[in-house]
Structure 1
Amino acid sequence: MPKIKLNSKIMAATMLLCTLTTFSQTAQAQRLRPTSLLNAKCVDSGAGSVRVEDQDVAIGRSVYTSMFHLGSGNRSASLTCKIKPNRSLEPVFQTLNLGFGMRDNDQSSPRVAVNIYVDGRQVANQTVRPTEKTELAVDVSTASNVTIETVCSSQSQYCDRVYFYQAMLQPKMPVPIPAATKK
């Protein structure tokens, strides 16, 4: 009889351990989900406009839901976001994935340069024109701030807006803690 009780206690403890491990892995996976850049503290600057709104737009004969757009007009517009939380000693994100383009509507618009800055240093530059879309992955593993800037290629002609349908921050993977070794 005592052997059966001991076996059932071991089995119950094993099941509890498996449940707690699964719960811990699920909680960790939820913390590692991508988050929108717009969840960070963001401010706009430049002579142009920044507008945050979901809007369906046609880019390259496909429909995308834009999260925000930058309208440089005939100058520039930019959005700067603080991506390192105040309470964190280290940056918490690995990559910023961007997807953007210009609508099919105004094919006579001049091209627009999209510049990406990480902590004030330019790390990427991509020029788009109407009907074109582009996707970029930017390393933000050491970053506190990210700036997206659009610059019109013409000072005399109005440039159409650049629509961002993807702006997601991928979290850093946690560093595994090595198991203690027995001697």
Structure 2
Amino acid sequence: MKRSFIGNFYRSFGANIRANRADADAEEGRLLRAEHRKPEFQRPRKLTYDEIMEALSDTSPSTFLDRKVQAYLSVEEWPPTSMDTSYHRVAASGEDNAWSTSVPGVSKLMMVSHPDVWQSLRLEFGPYRATFSVDGSTFQVRAKSAASTMMMAHIVAGRIRHHRNEASPDLGPNVAKVQN
């Protein structure tokens, strides 16, 4: 992460915690400006399943990725046009919404949303992998952090359970079906 001017200012007074927070805010702002400059983002739009799964599997955990996941879960526009998004409202209420860095936050979400998937979830470290069962089938996902793999498992379980067609849903290249 690149150091910001405000972060360097805080560091000069020895306020390292505030400096790190200022650096993280500056990095998030830089990434959001880059999102707005992309030609396909002329107008904010809804995130797709494939986009969020690709971001969770390839991107390093950050506040930027957490905001992107929150936008997908709450069906909001991406990139956000204001700072009054549900991500900031949840953060202001004191709830844990670090969906790519906080294992306890994602654990609470999975326990409430998919308790049977939570009971079958097996998290492996090294290359982070999560193996879980949904409706009698076993799947495996990989990401760059434990929380990201758990969030991918949550999104896959929701996609399988709430798919409208009779045929099985396309889960994409980031999800592997494990033979029983």
TM tier, shorter chain? under 0.3
Which structure dedicates a bigger proportion of its chain to strand?
A: 1
TM-score by length of 2: 0.22
TM-score by length of 1: 0.22
Which structure dedicates a bigger proportion of its chain to helix?
A: 2
Greater length-normalized contact order (CA 8 Å, ≥ 6 residues apart): 1
Which has the higher Rg, Structure 1 or Structure 2?
A: 1
